[in-house]
Amino acid sequence: MVIDQQHRLHGAFLPADECSAMTDHSTALFRCPHDPLTVLERGWLSANNIVLHGLPGEGAVLVDTGHCNHAGQTLALLHHALQGEPLRRVLNTHLHSDHCGGNATVQATFSSQILVPAGSLAAVIDWDEDRLGYRPTGQRCPRFVAAGALAAGERLTVGTRHWEVLAAPGHDPDALMLFEATDGVLISADALWQNGFGVVFPELDGLDAFDRVAETLALIGRIAPARVIPGHGTPFDDVPAALQRAGRRLSRFVANPALHARHAGKVLLKYHLMEEQQQALDAARSWAETTPLFESTRSRAGFDGPPGEWFQELLAELLAVDALRLDDQQRLHDV
């Protein structure tokens, strides 16, 4: 299966204020000429969206909906990709805010049923923001209604394609992947990117989850996909090389968990500024000092100083590589 880039959607289509840093500046649309699949490549604040097109009259299925900040952009992209096709269902690979933050808007617009990973369904029904992770991470996600759950081992048929649901613990304990064996296409979410994988969040809660990452990478190696559609970044087909890079990265984290915690702290801070776009330095420091998971990165990294010093140290590293900018009025800006 070959997914060719047909065109890139530029600023005239995407308002500048909808675009974020870290390759969020533009969105690419990939459409397979022979099979019913559209990939809306987003960036880092919003995860990629994958439209699985059905047979005539069947309706489409959307995998992941991006961040709530980009909900308007997501709707515009979906209308463009669907061309009037009904959107019957939304599937979430996991419930981090960059993957499901658009659920409420998409559901209200298309009346779509939403299926979430089975391990997360109860937390969605109760809308428990601690269990869902939004309060510990200091992130936001509008409430939505789940119609049911998706579990590892199930098979999903859309059009003529059959997708197997695979467990992908590590980055998130309830995370799922979708695999279409005929053409060897894997929707990997944050379990495998072209260069690495997502932060292993359970490790920040004191759980031993690096082994789960290794198991998920081993599973991907066994099924040997021909093409991977990641949660972030361009679809790629050099999967063995990506697995090798991910394995080396995992080995470094296993050997030095403090390195992973430090990396996670910078990711959380950068992500927060992507959400806010700009914020007074004191307000960002207050966010860091009151966000439980950011505090966990400090303790897991073995940093002995107070939370404010941890924030300042990670901020200095992000400023040094131009990931953030501090202006003369002491306001932080995402770049």
Would you say the pTM of this structure is higher than 0.75?
yes
Do 176 and 27 fall into the same domain? yes
Give the model's pLDDT for residue 35: 53
pLDDT at 17 over 70: no
Confidence of residue 36 (pLDDT cuts 50, 70, 90): confident
Domain span including residue 281: 258-334
pLDDT at 26 over 90: no
pLDDT tens sequence across 112-149: 999 999 999 999 999 999 999 999 999 999 999 999 99
Do 281 and 136 fall into the same domain? no
Residue pair 212/173 in contact by the 8 Å Cβ criterion: yes
Do 271 and 198 fall into the same domain? no
pLDDT tens sequence across 54-92: 999 999 999 999 999 999 999 999 999 999 999 999 999
Q: Which CATH number covers residue 99?
A: 3.60.15.10
Q: What is the mean pLDDT of the chain?
A: 90
pLDDT at 1 over 60: no
| Residues above pLDDT 70, as percent of the chain | 90
Do 282 and 225 fall into the same domain? no
Do 245 and 266 fall into the same domain? no
Q: How far apart are the first and last CA of the chain?
A: 36
Do 244 and 276 fall into the same domain? no
Q: Which CATH number covers residue 265?
A: 1.10.10
pLDDT tens sequence across 138-187: 999 999 999 999 999 999 999 999 999 999 999 999 999 999 999 999 99
Do 249 and 328 fall into the same domain? no
Do 265 and 237 fall into the same domain? no
Pairing between β-strand 324-326 and β-strand 331-334 as defined by DSSP bridges: antiparallel
User: CA-to-CA distance for 242 and 167, rounded, in angstroms?
Assistant: 19
The domain boundary, picked from 231, 255, 279, lies at: 255
Do 251 and 269 fall into the same domain? no
Do 276 and 200 fall into the same domain? no
Give the model's pLDDT for residue 248: 98
